[in-house]
Structure 1
Amino acid sequence: MTDRPNYITPEGYRRLREEYEGLFAVERPRLVETISWAAANGDRSENGDYIYGRKRLREIDRRITWLSKRMAKAAVVNPAEQPDRTHAFFGAIVTLADEDDNRRVVTLVGEDEADASVGRISWNSPMARAIRGGGAGDVRRVRLPSGEKEFEIIAISYPVADAPQ
């Protein structure tokens, strides 16, 4: 793992935390109980509950370790507090148009919350690196697996900060 911070939105951090707590406080104790019950049944060499339980427990422990490391390195950045809303930075919602005027909307998010199928791309992906710092009207060239493509930044927006209650 690198020494650079793990930039993440507050929503992304909340999801990591919820997964961690669900595994650590709910799923792991339930699994340990099942393994203990299966171990008490005798011969462990042919005990499917025991064998599968131990395997699943190792998977959960690995995931818990990974999540705790990612949360420890997390640098939570709230895009709603971005002072410069005219350029694409972390958390920006960017509308792009390619050479054929096909439009797509992408949101620059942390590596752990990226999901290209819903337009959430890692702020460090080739596409995001090309558009970072750009403003509306800028044309950026991106090297994609299918070849180089040009995209024009049509619009940039950021989430609105929640009103104080």
Structure 2
Amino acid sequence: MRTDLITPEGFDNLKKELNYLWQEYRPEITEKVAWAASLGDRSENADYKENKRLLRQIDSRIRFLNKRIETLTIVLPNKQQAGKVFFGAWVDIENEQGEQKRFKIVGPDEIYQRGVIEQRKDYISIDSPMARALLKKEVDDEALVNTPNGLTTWYINTINYDFV
């Protein structure tokens, strides 16, 4: 599967995280490092060591986000997709026991976003077994999902998209 796909909302969230790290968080930590360094002996200065470690992590995440944002492909929902499950769809499903789930099929970058963005519990990756089983299906279709406990049958109740 392609791991470079992202929804417009996910792309905006990555840009917000990058902006937050660069414009707000990094300057705050840099200021703390400068203050701790001004206290003298850095070899036994826990504030200095901890904030330098934090600054390295921030810089690493900034580098990652800058590179990642350049390689992502934003997938806009298309009205021609209506009625079938594709990337970016909100899907309501139900199994034979009556258990219901609702989620949006997104790229891996949207599942594990960090920083100012909280992890979404109602998102699943396009690479997940559930998403792969649902792709191209329609309402009332059944999808067989391979789980650690064996095959599970899910029925599609609704499919929606966030059309812009």
Q: One fold, TM greater than 0.5?
A: yes
CA 1:75/1:54 → structure 2, altered by over 3 Å: closer, same or farther? same
Equivalent in 148, 153, 157 of residue 154 of structure 1? 157
> Quick check: 1:5–1:73 contact (8 Å CA) kept in 2?
no
Secondary structure class of the residue paired with 1:46: coil
| Alignment of structure 1 residues 1-165 onto 2, 5 Å | 4=2, 6-79=4-77, 81-114=78-111, 118-161=121-164
Secondary structure class of the residue paired with 2:151: strand
Using structure 1 for the length normalisation, give the TM-score.
Answer: 0.87
CA 1:124/1:5 → structure 2, altered by over 3 Å: closer, same or farther? closer
Give me the whole-angstrom Cα distance separating, in 1, the residues matched to 2:60 and 2:147: 33
| Identical counterparts, % of pairs | 37
Report how many aligned residue pairs link the two structures: 158
Report deviation, 1:37: 2.3
Q: Which runs of 4+ in 1 moved over 4 A?
A: none
Report deviation, 1:93: 1.0
Report deviation, 1:89: 0.2
Report deviation, 1:84: 2.2
> Quick check: 1:88–1:94 contact (8 Å CA) kept in 2?
yes
- Larger RCO (alpha carbons 8 Å, 6+ apart): 2
Taking only aligned residues, the RMSD between alpha carbons, in angstroms, comes to: 1.9
Unpaired segments of 5 or more residues in structure 2?
A: 113-118
Secondary structure class of the residue paired with 1:155: strand
